[in-house]
Structure 1
Amino acid sequence: MTLPLPARRLAAALAACGLLGTPALAAPLPMVVDKVLLQQPSVRSAQALLRAAEAQITQVRSDFLPSLGLSYRNSDARDETQGRPVDRNVRRSDASLRWNVFNGAADTHRLRAAGFTRDAADADLDSVLEQVAFEITEAYADVVRLRQTMTSLQGTIARQEKVEAHVAQRVDAGRISSAELDLMHVRLIQSRTLLGQLRAQLGTAEYRYRLLTGEAPDDLITPGIRPNDRDADMDALVERIHERNPRLRAALQRSSARKADIGVARGSFFPAVDLSINKRLDNSTIPVPVSDTDRAAQLQVSIDIPLGGKNLGRHSEAVERHQAAQADADDLLLKVSREITDLYRQLGEAREIAPLTERRVIAAQRVAAAYELHFEAGRRSLNDLSIAQEDLFNAQRALIENRAQQTTLQAQLLSLAGELRETLRTRYQPVPILPELLGTTPYNPALAAAPIPVVEAPPAPEIELSPAMTSAAAGTSTPPVSVTAKETDAAGPEQRLAAWAAAWSAGDFSAYRDFYLPDFQPGKGRSTADWENERRLRVTQAQAPSIRIDKLKLHQLNAERMSTRFVQHYSAGHYRDTVRKQIDWVKVDGQWRIAAETVLALSPADPTASQVATPR
């Protein structure tokens, strides 16, 4: 049984205070938005106003139809006729039909005004839906941002505590001044104070998320929206938002409704012509009077001519209200234009500096690790090390906030265009930050080409390759490699290996993923989904990647299994990487697919060994 929204919100609030058990894990962002959107009070209010506007149209349409009247009279009276009292009983029934023939088209303009009002209410509902969807997206991203920031800060505190213990040992040994220990105490107090502030902010963000969704904010992943080519042209984006912005559309519809009200007011200047038909259906009077109407039918035309200044004032009021509504729409257009320009430029800047924030984190990790070694060796001061650790946290915090800012800015722009809900259904894509970038251990993106562990392995039996096979795998015109082993049919895996490298170089993750088994196990305790998310980021976001394969060797285990070993040269942006790799293939439904992928240790005698992970 599903609890109503107030009950679920109360339960969420109690759970936040620790009074209830832990609820179920939260659904992905698009599912959360679709599930709770129509339950929001603001949405239900907008829906009620829309239904009220539709009912108003029904009322106005009824003015075009004639009105039917029926009357019945039953009276007992005491009359005087020539001085003689008479008790008289009257039973009488009449019918009338009244129809307005002409009223200066006031009814027509009133119907138009009601239609525009209904369209404005519909646009208001769209606006509220988009705004609530943005608020949920913002709250979702805020929870993720604060949690990641706390994770980074907790890692910094752990490293500071480790340094503090070493400093305390040196102080006890009399090797350094006790002021150095006081310095570490100050740094730790600052970090722990900030951690407390972040914990409070996270509690507020989680409570807001619960109030908005009625769901527990558990297991949330950094949300993201795939870019659209249409959004790259600012002028086209502004024009599209001007056309589709729900608030602006509602304002323009209200202006049109006020303009139609002017026609209603003008109709009051014209005479009103009514056609009425009256008919007596029955008349029974006891005793019968001297003279009375028993059966009758009457056709009547009446003309009402308005006098005085009431209608003139009504017309002036309608004109002024239309001008005010149009001015409000013009003012909203200017505000929306300024808002679009500001958001678009902020989003462009956030995307521009996104790669720099990752590089800053990587550099800060190296500096902090190096300074820690230098401090142990007495080549750096404790203050230098503390500053380097603080710089690392600030770099990670900037990276986290940049990811959250991109999502919220893009969601806000889409909300202005009335497209956020649809985009969440079609272009939503989680973009988790790599755990290595939130840690303190130096991370080298060049090794992302092969995230699986490096192992020592015995050499595999080799086979002699034909020139065509060698060229297909290496992607070059390298002459064939002379090796010794029995011949085997390896053209299938070699061609697949060349296509695998081409898909990686092209950044086509769908094609790249298709080379692996559907349930490919990456090792290191990671799931297939985690591996897919990580490889999607590495394949699609690499800057001009290039993969070159040489020294290819094959070993056929049986008709359904094949192993390939080769040296892989990888480059992307400013990074270069050379590794020795083994890929194991299995034949599934007649197609060779990758079952395992292992990075092997390069031999010290290998001339390419010094090229591993060397930035250019």
Structure 2
Amino acid sequence: MMKLKPLVMFMMLATAPLSFAATTMKDAVEQTVLKNPEVRAKWLSYKASSDEQDVARSNYYPRVDIQAFAGYERLDSAQPNNSGNSGFSHPGASIELRQMLFDGFATQTEVRRLGYGKLTRYYELLAASDQAALETINAYLDVLRYRELVGLAKDNYAVHKETYDQIAERVAAGVGRRVDLETATGRLALAESNWLTQASNLHDVSARYERLTGMPPDVEMGQPTDFGPMLPTNTAELKERLPANPAFKSAVYNIRAARADAENKKSDYYPQFEFRARQDVGNNRDGIDGTYNDSVVQLVMNYNLFRGGATTARASQYAQQLNIAYEMRDKTCRDIRQTTQIAWNDVSRLKEQLGYLDQHVLSTEKSRDAFRRQFDIGQRSLLDVLDTENELFEARNALVRGEYDFQLSRARVLAQTHQLLAALQLSPLENTGPDDNLGDNVTEDEKIACSGVMIESVKLDREAAMAARPPRAPLPVPEVKAETPAGTCDKAVTDLVANWSNAWSGKMMDTYLSFYSEKFEASGGRSRADWEAKRRARVSKEGGITLKLDNQTCKMNGKDRGEVTFTQVYTSKNYSDTVQKTLELQQESGKWKIIRERVTSGRTE
């Protein structure tokens, strides 16, 4: 397949439609890398640097000038025998060749300087492409993030509106307190304000996305790319990847360009030699008729002896410019190391934190459901219910933010190691760099601890935290009551409970759900479909489940109804609890089914 030259490709892109709909993260980043004005400006700067080097290289070649002239001249003579002034026509032409033989290495060092300058511009282009890609990924994730947060705020508003309507009905019926209505009114206003805030945030990040990609975000945006497989496996591998950072490469070549510039300024210490050849043809020179032909061949030397100390001062000036380039390289290294360490720490920290945030949501959901049931029977105040609703809203928001921050932290690590575009199977506008073999590659320029000692992440020492606490007072010993003897149950009932437990711990969801009646009454007034969806999501999470049923008792309420009560000890990867649970059973078409599931003590469902 024929490869398009960069300029041809650029012209095709420039004349193509402005944008295309970006439905995936890869599409959005590709749109930015190809069309974003900042990236294109860096690309054009790189192309201009190549032309600039060609200008300097032209000094190696001869210079040929042709001059032709024609006109009328008037000659006033002061000679005694000349009776007056005379005029004459004096046409002519000349051609001159000039070839630089030696200029104190000025051309050589200037070509080298501009060559390193071109390499600097190239790596600046790569750095700009990586940065634009990272900003686009950030904007893409933010759009998805705030779409979810708007959805949560919308649901939170609906819950508070339902609560408000319920309290308003009670007050209107004379069975509710007006202070509860005022509380519900205030919380409803807060929920609506939160919804408006998140909607405004979504608008702002959508505008940022449009600025980067040139198009508003698509209605159906795909799931983010999983960058996990591309990440370094440990800090040692991370340190090995850091020298590939294009910002660091740019700083290194900037040093070499500054060194060549300093060498260039020393050319004034040398004489300059130039070969010149000229041929002149003319008529009527000085009013004397005739044709004249002059030929000149010269070797011209020019050597400055004194310039007021300017040569020495200029050499010192550019030596200091070289020192500045060294300092800027060191600063770039420190910036890269800081940014990389923060991103790398965020990856590990957020991965662990997501487990805690998920647990917070799960526990708060259970508390909210329990508080609502207790509120319905007068055991909880409205303020308790609204507080748990707000806590659940904030917990869900924190989980959403954590999930997207985690994905962004992975992209930040890849951007620092110059692997972000490769992870998306994309390339920058210019993927092949210019030749860096310019005869002055000092290896010490790159020998700097950009990937030096990495600061260790702060570990949570839970044992030390607990050891620092004052000792607790002993808890009162509860009175031990005799166990109630277990009732006699149909063997089919006890078998159902055992099989139900095994299906749950084995994550056999279809079997597990088959033990529940279609008329199953979920807690919190939820529909069976909603309850089933949440159960599938929770049980299917990563990690095994251990389930132990102790102190099982049974009670039959006739031939077709029964209750089984037991102590349930549940353990999973991120959660564990011990509760007292009762399963209410009913026979349907000759099979026992669970119609209600109640937690009577401990954590609630």
Q: Shared fold (TM-score greater than 0.5)?
A: yes
Q: Give 3-state SS (helix, strand or coil) of 1:97's partner.
A: strand
Listed as ranges, the matches of 1:293-442 within 5 Å are 294-308=293-307, 309-425=309-425
1:364-390 deviations in whole A, cap 9, x for unaligned?
A: 222211211111122222222112111
Q: Give 3-state SS (helix, strand or coil) of 1:425's partner.
A: coil
Distance in 2 of aligned mates of 1:92 and 1:57: 37
Distance in 2 of aligned mates of 1:406 and 1:25: 26
1:432-464 deviations in whole A, cap 9, x for unaligned?
A: xxxxxxxxxxxx99797537995699xxxxxxx
Q: Give 3-state SS (helix, strand or coil) of 1:232's partner.
A: coil
Aligned to 2:187: 187
Aligned to 2:234: 233
Q: Give 3-state SS (helix, strand or coil) of 1:94's partner.
A: strand
Give % identity. Answer: 18
Q: Give 3-state SS (helix, strand or coil) of 2:70's partner.
A: strand
Relative to structure 1, is the Cα distance of residues 451 and 93 closer, same or farther in structure 2, using a 3 angstrom cutoff?
Answer: farther
Residue type at the aligned position of 1:259 = R
Relative to structure 1, is the Cα distance of residues 373 and 254 closer, same or farther in structure 2, using a 3 angstrom cutoff?
Answer: same
The answer on 1:43 being equivalent to 2:44 is: no
Distance in 2 of aligned mates of 1:332 and 1:256: 16
Distance in 2 of aligned mates of 1:335 and 1:89: 73
Relative to structure 1, is the Cα distance of residues 273 and 369 closer, same or farther in structure 2, using a 3 angstrom cutoff?
Answer: same
Aligned length in residues: 455
The answer on 1:159 being equivalent to 2:155 is: no
CA contact (8 A) 2:121 2:250 kept: yes
Q: Identify which of 495, 509, 518 aligns with 1:450.
A: 509
Residue type at the aligned position of 2:251 = A
Distance in 1 of aligned mates of 2:134 and 2:507: 34
TM-score w.r.t. length of structure 2: 0.66
Distance in 2 of aligned mates of 1:295 and 1:543: 98
CA contact (8 A) 1:371 1:380 kept: yes
Listed as ranges, the matches of 1:6-45 within 5 Å are 26-45=22-41
CA contact (8 A) 1:238 1:340 kept: no
Q: Give 3-state SS (helix, strand or coil) of 2:104's partner.
A: coil
Q: Give 3-state SS (helix, strand or coil) of 1:275's partner.
A: strand
Give the RMSD, CA atoms, in angstroms: 4.1
Distance in 1 of aligned mates of 2:254 and 2:165: 69
Relative to structure 1, is the Cα distance of residues 63 and 171 closer, same or farther in structure 2, using a 3 angstrom cutoff?
Answer: same
Distance in 2 of aligned mates of 1:67 and 1:336: 47
Q: Identify which of 57, 63, 72 aligns with 1:61.
A: 57
CA contact (8 A) 1:238 1:337 kept: no
CA contact (8 A) 1:71 1:93 kept: yes
Q: Give 3-state SS (helix, strand or coil) of 2:418's partner.
A: coil
Cα shift at 1:57: 0.5
Listed as ranges, the matches of 1:56-205 within 5 Å are 56-78=52-74, 83=82, 88-205=88-205
Q: Give 3-state SS (helix, strand or coil) of 1:58's partner.
A: helix
Aligned to 2:483: none
Aligned to 1:223: 224
CA contact (8 A) 1:103 1:272 kept: yes
Aligned to 1:579: none
Of residues 162-171 and 116-125 in structure 1, the stretch that sits farther from structure 2 once superposed is 162-171
Distance in 1 of aligned mates of 2:14 and 2:74: 66
1:193-251 deviations in whole A, cap 9, x for unaligned?
A: 1111111111212222223223332122452423136523224324422x122222222
Listed as ranges, the matches of 1:530-569 within 5 Å are 542-543=542-543
CA contact (8 A) 2:42 2:124 kept: yes
CA contact (8 A) 1:542 1:572 kept: no
Residue type at the aligned position of 2:368 = A
Q: Give 3-state SS (helix, strand or coil) of 2:166's partner.
A: helix
CA contact (8 A) 2:231 2:410 kept: no
Cα shift at 1:188: 1.2
Residue type at the aligned position of 1:231 = P
CA contact (8 A) 1:251 1:328 kept: yes
Distance in 2 of aligned mates of 1:272 and 1:69: 20
Distance in 1 of aligned mates of 2:113 and 2:296: 38
Residue type at the aligned position of 1:305 = N
Relative to structure 1, is the Cα distance of residues 425 and 358 closer, same or farther in structure 2, using a 3 angstrom cutoff?
Answer: farther
Relative to structure 1, is the Cα distance of residues 448 and 182 closer, same or farther in structure 2, using a 3 angstrom cutoff?
Answer: farther
Relative to structure 1, is the Cα distance of residues 235 and 219 closer, same or farther in structure 2, using a 3 angstrom cutoff?
Answer: same
TM-score w.r.t. length of structure 1: 0.65
CA contact (8 A) 2:359 2:574 kept: no
Cα shift at 1:8: 6.6
Cα shift at 1:271: 1.0
CA contact (8 A) 1:72 1:94 kept: yes
CA contact (8 A) 1:5 1:39 kept: no
Relative to structure 1, is the Cα distance of residues 448 and 74 closer, same or farther in structure 2, using a 3 angstrom cutoff?
Answer: farther
Note the residue ranges of structure 2 that are not aligned, 5 or more in a row.
Answer: 1-11, 427-502, 517-528, 530-535, 547-569, 577-588
